[in-house]
Chains A and B, each alone.
Chain A
Amino acid sequence: MSDNRLMIAVPRGALLKETLNLLDAIGVDTAEVRSNDRKLLFRDVGIITMRPSDVPTYVEAGSADIGVTGKDVLIEQGEREVYELLDLGYGGCTMVLASVAGDDPMEEARRRLGMMRIATKYPKIAARHFAATGRQAEMVEVKGSVELAPLTGLADGIVDLTATGTTLRENGLVVREEIVVCTARLIANPVSHKLKAAAIDELLERVRAA
């Protein structure tokens, strides 16, 4: 029943292009994936595509044997039982704490109100950062366009991932603290890691050589 072919979970979005380039370099045909951005399952080449934050879900359940996602996703979903096999090096981003330029509104909120409100898509990473630095903060979880929150008074600051800082600058935000640097990682389902060891190790070798 189960052959030795691997099903790979590929993240759409910022990591897609470099992930497909990597797969090409190790001999996986990604032409159909590149030419079709609505289709999700490419059974012939063993690829499924999804948003990066869903990759650990599919890999943990065994619906994909291996997958590529950001370290940010893996830290935020730290309870997922997956193997982290390799730092792929690309997709480098920094998780930062940012607020509007000028006098830091987070500082005033902390001093006068005792705690800050922080908008983020990464409530666990953000909460851990504030706990580790001994500050009280309330996490406001938003699903997208985090930069809007401090501009409208929803929050005093944001915790978000930034590659170049352009979006932050365009919205008048400045980085106050860097929390962690995140790159793309190759992950594996724990059962696949044992039952398809040869196929996974061979793929690892090709990725290392690519």
Chain B
Amino acid sequence: MSDATGTAPAGAPTIHPIPSGTRDVLPDEMRELRAITATALEVFTRAGYGEVQTPALEYEDTLARGDVRGAPPVYRLFDEQGRVLVLRSDMTVPIARLVATRFANAEPPLRLCYLAHAYRGVRPQRGQSREFLQAGIELVGAEAPGGTAEALTLLCDVLDAVGLADYRIGLGDVGLYQALLDGYGVEGAARERVLHELVTRDFVGLEREVAALGLDAEAAALLARVPQLRGGPEVLAGLDGQAAEAAEGMRSVYALLEPRVAERLIFDLGLVRSLGYYTGAIFQVYDPALGVPIGGGGRYDELLGRFGRPLPAVGFALNVERLHIALAGEERGERGA
């Protein structure tokens, strides 16, 4: 075992480690990554999105104000005045801060895009780096469903432009299941237990917790079944009563989409995303060549208000490294997921 401080045997290369979950990018890979990011920026710019940059370091309070529960910052340090700084775990919150302070009086909508690294405490593996590059957009001041439809269309534009062929976009709504729980008066600790099973993707546990609520059989069946529904437009058509009402937001977005975007959609009533600031439509990008989502986004209509400029907003981010792996997988014709 040799490292930067140890003594290597004669002739052996000296090893200077880099932090867990980070990596170097060498020219062959960099060339391909650059082609992806250049294309993405070109598509964003052509659609009227202006590129911005924010500091990699933010005050811890800034990210906490944005509610990044589920993807909290893990790298912390102090500045010379003892204030706590973090490496951003997300770009949407820094951009919300930027909009509220630099564009305090600008006429909405605002269209911004970025190419930036974010940092999370993930378990390092391929496509899962602790420092990862995101290409994304934020559309601020555009309400649902119009703004959501614009973001989904741009998402398809950029994936088409980089040459990903078989991708699909899962569309859900964070409010949908909450509305059902509200409707049946499920509150407090029992509600937390049900949501915990949903977030941890445990449908066995979900059925157990729903059964424990003591609701009538029809209500219990609905609460256990709805999060497992995903598929084409027939999924929405098959809903009735409370569930149909709760899915109205998804239906209104779908109605605005061009066919080439609409046909990429999978309606996913059980979709959950880790970040805490989402308020309505949420989406995730899947490709058969990769076992994990390539990116995602959603509406965050209350986030800007926390920074003093209440405006509805929607955005998405693509994980460039994962997009690259999926493109390479499609090229090789890999089955993957």
Instruction: Give me the interface of A with B, judged by CB distance under 8 Å.
Output: 1-2, 7, 60-63, 65, 79, 81-87, 185, 189-195, 197-198, 201
Among residues of B, the one whose C-beta sits closest to the C-beta of A74 is B202
B271 to chain A, nearest CB (A): 9
A204 to chain B, nearest CB (A): 9
A-contacting 9-mer, from B33-41, B71-79, B287-295: B287-295
Contacting pair B286 A191 (CB below 8 A): yes
Mark interface residues in B314-337 (1 if CB within 8 Å of A CB, else 0). 000000000000000010011111
Does B170 lie at the interface of the complex (its beta carbon under 8 Å from any beta carbon of A)?
yes
> Is A190 touching B203 in the complex (CB atoms < 8 A)?
no
Inter-chain contacts of B337 with A (CB < 8 A): 2, 62, 65, 189, 191-192, 195
Produce 1/0 per residue, B287-316, CB < 8 A to A: 111111100000000000000000000000
The 8 closest A-B pairs by CB, nearest first: A62-B291, A62-B337, A2-B288, A191-B337, A84-B202, A83-B201, A192-B337, A191-B286
Known: A2-B335, A7-B335, A191-B286. A85 touches B204 (CB 8 A): yes
* Chain A residue at smallest Cβ distance from B197: A84
How many B residues touch the partner, as a band? 20 to 34
**Taking A195-B337, A197-B231 as contacts, is the C-beta distance between A83 and B203 under 8 angstroms?**
yes
A-B pair number, CB within 8 angstroms: 74
Write the chain A residue with the least CB distance to B335: A2
Cβ B230 vs Cβ A194 within 8 A: yes
Complex Cα gap A198–B229 (Å): 10
Q: Is B291 a contact of A1 with CB atoms below 8 Å?
A: no
- Asked if B61 CB lies within 8 Å of chain A CBs, one says no
Chain B residue numbers with a CB within 8 Å of A2 are 166, 288-289, 335-337
Q: Which residue numbers of B lie inside 8 Å of A, CB to CB?
A: 123, 166, 168, 170, 201-205, 228, 230-231, 266, 268, 286-293, 330, 333-337
Contacts of B293 in A (CB 8 A): 190-191
With A1-B335, A2-B336, A62-B336 already in contact, the answer to whether A84 and B288 are too (CB < 8 A) is: no
Which residues of chain B have C-beta atoms less than 8 A from A79's C-beta?
A: 123
Roughly how many angstroms separate A114 CA and B204 CA in the complex, as a whole number? 38
Q: How far is the CA of A197 from the CA of B288 in the complex (A)?
A: 12
Tell me, rounded to whole Å, the shortest Cβ–Cβ distance linking B239 to chain A: 16
Docked CA distance A79–B125 (Å): 13
Given A79-B123, A189-B337, A194 contacting B168 (CB threshold 8 A): yes
Do A81 and B201 touch across chains, with their CB atoms under 8 A apart? yes
Separation of A65 and B337 alpha carbons in the complex (Å) = 6
Alpha-carbon gap, A7 to B291, bound state (A): 13
Whether B201 pairs with A191 at a CB distance below 8 angstroms is: no
Output the nearest chain B residue to A84 by Cβ-Cβ distance: B202
B204 touches A62 (CB 8 A): no
Smallest CB–CB gap between A81 and chain B, Å? 7
Which residues from B are CB-within-8-Å of A197? Answer: 230-231, 266
Bound form: Cα–Cα A2–B334 in Å = 8
B205 contacts A84, CB within 8 Å? yes
- Chain A residue nearest to B286 (CB atoms) is A191
Instruction: Determine the distance from Cα of A82 to Cα of B292 in the docked complex, in whole angstroms.
Output: 10
Q: How far is the CA of A201 from the CA of B235 in the complex (A)?
A: 13
Are B335 and A195 in touch, CB under 8 angstroms? no
Q: Which single residue of chain A is at the shortest CB-CB distance from B329?
A: A1
Give complex CA distance A81, B330 in Å.
Answer: 23
In the complex, which of the residues B170, B288, B289, B291 has the most CB atoms of chain A within 10 Å of its own CB atom? B291
Cβ–Cβ contact A194 & B335, under 8 A: no
B188 CB to nearest chain A CB (Å): 22
CB neighbours (8 Å) of B205 from chain A are 84
- Contacting residue for A85 out of B203, B287, B289, CB 8 A: B203
For the complex with contacts A2-B288, A81-B292, 12 further pairs of A-B residues with Cβ separation under 8 Å are: A2-B166, A2-B289, A62-B290, A62-B291, A83-B201, A84-B202, A84-B203, A86-B204, A191-B286, A191-B291, A191-B337, A192-B291
